[in-house]
């Protein structure tokens, strides 16, 4: 067994899990990267590491500097933990609608968390714009004291996924992969993995699984970024085309309702013992749709981006689920009555 000298060595190289029920239901091999096993608990540890390493290489982050980012939470957690490991401060700007569990994890890690209203990205008070402003203000006082990670438009995000996440998937499947499906937040994962796989075999199908309320699926299928409906998922979907997403090699896209994605999460926990978060439900639903599209005998890969415990108060809360029109499985209703 290798020993890891620092936190960053433990990021990535996650196991590829076989999803038994999804595989049996489709006649395909449906496999998923266990991203909840990263040290900060999500796939966004990879993004945080990719962005920070790139910035350090370019000399953009001074010793003891403040890392600033706007995030749905997980990138912030990754950056804060890496910051602790490397001697940086972190300021994390988040929409106040994100889960209590992520906010608490950030505070526990010592991040300076700034909650802002959830507003459209065109609003100057949007969390990403606010983060950029905070970094600019810190740098105006002490030049070079802050670094804005800019995960949506900094292409070091996509590059890390291309060099690592995509390469891992290719190697772990022994090159037998036929398709990859996942959601997009910044677009780093789908663009980076898509580029890595297509470079190895052009015919590998890349599919976007987009939550309701996001404009990305409509952009891929019609060329027009139009959003309809809403979703309780966090960290995925977008109303704008980020630099990381813009030229992602996507072949197919579906809008996935919560009534399809959340039951995948409950079933996976109850039948196979994996406890995964909100975006993982969309990813599994997307992988199942892609498997049906390709037909039996194919290998489809997706990602389980974080843990269900990160959304405990929503995902395992019958009253919350009922209010959102999402089916409550019997065992969950019995476990948390009233």
Radius of gyration of the chain (CA): 19
* Residue span binding ligand PMP (CB under 6 A) among the ranges 20-28, 132-140, 183-191, 202-210: 183-191
Q: Restricting to residues 59-88, which ones interact with ligand PMP according to CB under 6 A?
A: 72, 74
Residue 233 backbone phi and psi in degrees, to 5: -65, 160
Q: Which is nearer to ligand PMP, 102 or 298 (CB)?
A: 102
Order the strands of the 112-116 sheet from edge to edge.
112-116, 89-95, 66-70, 146-148
Query: What minimum distance in Å lies between the beta carbon of 62 and ligand PMP?
Result: 27
Q: Which is nearer to ligand PMP, 236 or 288 (CB)?
A: 236
- What the block records as the tokens of 255 is 């809008």
Distance, CA of 149 to CA of 141 (rounded, Å): 19
* Residue span binding ligand PMP (CB under 6 A) among the ranges 105-113, 126-134, 187-195, 317-325: 187-195
Among 32, 183, 227, 232, binds ligand PMP (CB under 6 A): 183
Residue 82 backbone phi and psi in degrees, to 5: -65, -40
Q: Restricting to residues 17-56, which ones interact with ligand PMP according to CB under 6 A?
A: 42-44
Considering Cα of 76, then 79, then 81, then 87, what sign does the dihedral take? negative
- What the block records as the tokens of 137 is 């203000």
Distance, CA of 165 to CA of 168 (rounded, Å): 5
In Å, how far from its chain's centre is CA 183?
8
Residue 236 as a binder of ligand PMP (CB under 6 A): the answer is: yes
Distance, CA of 31 to CA of 300 (rounded, Å): 6
* Residue span binding ligand PMP (CB under 6 A) among the ranges 131-139, 185-193, 251-259, 324-332: 185-193
Q: How many other β-carbons are positioned within 10 Å of the β-carbon of residue 313?
A: 10
Return the H-helix or E-strand segment holding 252.
strand 252-256
Query: What minimum distance in Å lies between the beta carbon of 47 and ligand PMP?
Result: 6
Among 50, 78, 166, 185, binds ligand PMP (CB under 6 A): 185
Q: Which is nearer to ligand PMP, 74 or 298 (CB)?
A: 74
- The answer to whether 44 is a known catalytic residue is yes
Query: What minimum distance in Å lies between the beta carbon of 154 and ligand PMP?
Result: 11
Residue 106 as a binder of ligand PMP (CB under 6 A): the answer is: no
Residue 98 as a binder of ligand PMP (CB under 6 A): the answer is: no
Q: Interface mask (CB under 6 A) for ligand PMP, residues 255-284, using x and -?
A: ----------------------x-x-----
Q: Is 71 helix (H, G, I), strand (E, B) or coil?
A: coil
Contact 224, 251 (CB under 8 A): no
Among 83, 166, 188, 308, binds ligand PMP (CB under 6 A): 188
- What the block records as the tokens of 61 is 């982050």
Q: Which is nearer to ligand PMP, 236 or 291 (CB)?
A: 236
State the catalytic residue, choosing from 44, 102, 314, 324: 44
Contact 39, 307 (CB under 8 A): no
- Tell me which residues are annotated as active site: 44
Binding site for ligand PMP (CB under 6 A): 42-44, 72, 74, 183-189, 235-236, 277, 279, 305-306
């Amino acid at each position: 067994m290798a020993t890891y000298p620092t936190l960053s060595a433990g990021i990535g190289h996650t196991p590829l899990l076989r999803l038994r029920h999804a595989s049996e239901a489709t006649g395909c091999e449906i496999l998923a990267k266990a991203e909840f096993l990263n040290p900060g608990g999500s796939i966004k540890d990879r993004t945080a590491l990719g962005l920070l390493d790139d910035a350090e290489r370019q000399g953009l982050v001074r010793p003891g500097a403040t890392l600033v980012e706007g995030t749905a939470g997980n990138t912030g957690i990754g950056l804060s933990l890496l910051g602790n490991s490397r001697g940086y401060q972190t300021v994390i700007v988040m929409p106040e609608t994100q889960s209590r569990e992520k906010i608490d994890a950030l505070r526990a890690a010592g991040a300076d968390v700034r909650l802002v209203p959830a507003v459209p990205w065109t609003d100057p008070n949007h969390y990403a714009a606010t983060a950029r402003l905070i970094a600019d203000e810190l740098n105006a006082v002490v030049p070079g004291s802050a670094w804005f990670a800019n995960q949506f438009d900094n292409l070091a995000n996509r590059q890390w996924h291309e060099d690592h996440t995509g390469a891992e998937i290719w190697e772990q499947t022994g090159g037998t992969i036929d398709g990859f499906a996942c959601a997009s937040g910044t677009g780093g994962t789908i663009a980076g993995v898509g580029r890595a796989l297509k470079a190895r075999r052009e015919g590998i199908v890349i599919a976007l699984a987009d939550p309701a309320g996001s404009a990305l699926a409509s952009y891929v299928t019609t060329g027009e970024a139009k959003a309809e409906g809403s979703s309780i998922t966090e960290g995925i979907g977008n109303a704008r085309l980020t630099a990381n997403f813009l030229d992602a090699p996507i072949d197919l896209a579906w809008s996935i309702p919560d009534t399809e994605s959340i039951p995948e999460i409950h079933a996976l926990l109850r039948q196979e013992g994996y406890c995964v978060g909100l975006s993982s439900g969309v990813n599994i639903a997307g992988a199942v749709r892609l498997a049906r599209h390709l037909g039996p005998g194919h290998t489809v890969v997706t990602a389980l981006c974080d843990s269900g415990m990160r959304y405990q108060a929503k995902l395992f809360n019958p009253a919350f689920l009922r209010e959102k029109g999402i089916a409550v499985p019997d065992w969950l209703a019995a476990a948390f009555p009233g």
